[in-house]
Amino acid sequence: MKIMKFGGTSVGNPDRMKALIPLINDDEKKIVVLSAMAGTTNSLVEISNLLYAENVNEASDKNDTLRSNYHRVVNELLETESNKTTGHELIDSHFDHIANFTKGVFTKLKEKEILAQGELLSTSLFNLLLQERNIKSILLPALSFMRIDKDGEPDSFYIEENIKRELKNYPSENIIITQGFICRNAHGEIDNLKRGGSDFTASLIGSAVNASEIQIWTDINGFHNNDPRFVENTKVIRELSFDEAAELAYFGAKILHPSSVYPARIKNIPVRLKNTMEPSDPGTLITLSSVLQDYKAVAAKDGISVLRIRSDRMLMAYGFLRKVFEIFEAYRTPIDMITTSEVAVSITIDNSEFIKQIAKELKELGSVEVEENQTIVCVVGDFRTERTGSAPEIFEALNTIPLKMISYGGSPNSLSLLIDTSNKIEALRLLSKHLFD
């Protein structure tokens, strides 16, 4: 059994949905995971934000606009009058549900239920399309098996037990459709796996059912060796290891949700990135091992802040870093990159929600400097520490750009650098020129 996840643009309009049929309609058993149609989750977030702000009128207007868009989708997607009627009724039931939430105090719980409507809509519509074409499919609700625990982490045991139990009911059906992104939490309420979480759904399901392959279908041919939005002539990387893919996904490559690598890796299930616009292209294959190369790819992650702590008390002292880390832990703020000297330590974070409080507490330990608008550039390649001569091209390429931090030796697959975000595009172009051209 394989998993095929189609992202928002792959189900972004009726034609794109129809184009998926030849990709899934064969004799192999598969679980098809769908995102919401492109733009829908963003609109649902906007509606929720308006409701938090008690701007009920504008929220209702937005809901009505989205509702009419979906009625248009139904008209183009389905052929027969009776199927169209079913489709229109389905759309109205979802948007009436959202409209109900405009009454009374708006809560996190209501927000999560609103956000869930996008995937519920896309999967129901796609299932209707298949029914109309007489293609046998099953719509398996993700809410019946996908679950996170009290810490917000996937409850793998629950997921495996429940999806296996559900699948037993459909031994001979080849196309099982389910929603990405949505789940239940430890209290049984509707929740989600955070933005972009449909990839994570696919990988969690793949791991739970021991799939032969997890395919993530988007509108690009796989991981590129640099960011195609800023750099010309980027190339597709055909093979990556799980570790390399995890670094690229985490440090900026938008094509794959970073959390989705881990569940595949623990069960050693290959992940393949494919393009719905060019299905014959082999895409990128992610497996346990892949051929090492000096430099494979470059990715960049914006929105980084750096905190520099300097203290003479650090000299020859033990326990100093523990005190520093405890402050970040108290504010549940993950650290991305760290470099130390004997009397100073620099730490980067990408969630600056509590940066003021963290800086204030760090000041008890020494002097603190904060700088925002930073970018981590991550070069993925062969950085095994027993090698000689790796990396000179990187520094040569970037010799006109101030490097704020360098992290080497933390991972055999990557070298990371911190730069000002204003230098990012220039840095990415220089790296492509020196490493790949």
Is residue 117 near ligand ASP by the rule CB under 6 A? Answer: no
At 399, list the tokens. 């010799």
Question: Contacting ligand ASP (CB under 6 A), which of 180, 258, 366, 381?
Answer: 180
Q: Residues 6 or more apart from 389 whose CB is under 8 A from it?
A: none
Alpha-carbon Rg for the chain, nearest whole angstrom, is 24
C-beta of 203 vs 290, nearer to ligand ASP:
203
From Mg ion, ligand ASP, none, interface partner of 397 (C-beta below 5 to 8 A by class): none
- Closest approach, Cβ 42 to Mg ion, in A, equals 12
Candidates 4-12, 287-295, 307-315, 331-339; binding stretch for Mg ion (CB under 5 A): 4-12
Question: Contacting ligand ASP (CB under 6 A), which of 118, 222, 366, 381?
Answer: 118
Q: Residues 6 or more apart from 284 whose CB is under 8 A from it?
A: 221, 222, 223, 236, 237, 238, 239, 240, 245, 272, 273
- Closest approach, Cβ 189 to ligand ASP, in A, equals 18
Q: Enumerate residues 4-33 that contact ligand ASP by CB under 6 A.
A: 7-8
Candidates 47-55, 196-204, 273-281, 307-315; binding stretch for ligand ASP (CB under 6 A): 196-204
Question: Contacting Mg ion (CB under 5 A), which of 12, 180, 196, 206?
Answer: 196
Question: Contacting ligand ASP (CB under 6 A), which of 3, 33, 36, 415?
Answer: 36
Q: Residues 6 or more apart from 195 whose CB is under 8 A from it?
A: 41
From Mg ion, ligand ASP, none, interface partner of 283 (C-beta below 5 to 8 A by class): none
Is residue 7 near Mg ion by the rule CB under 5 A? Answer: yes
> What are the strands, taking DSSP E only, across 112-173?
138-139
Collapsing DSSP states into helix, strand and coil, what is residue 147? strand
DSSP category for residue 211: -
What are the beta bridge partners of residue 347?
307, 338
- Closest approach, Cβ 35 to ligand ASP, in A, equals 3
- Closest approach, Cβ 249 to ligand ASP, in A, equals 13
Q: How far is CA 48 from the centre of its chain?
A: 21
Q: How far is CA 349 from the centre of its chain?
A: 18
From Mg ion, ligand ASP, none, interface partner of 348 (C-beta below 5 to 8 A by class): none
From ligand ASP, Mg ion, none, interface partner of 179 (C-beta below 5 to 8 A by class): none
Burial 100-136 (b: 16+ CB within 10 A, else e): ebbeeebeeebbbbbbbbbbbbbbbbbbbbbebeeee
Residues of this chain that bind ligand ASP (CB under 6 A)? 7-8, 35-36, 41, 118, 180-181, 195-198
Residues of this chain that bind Mg ion (CB under 5 A)? 7, 196
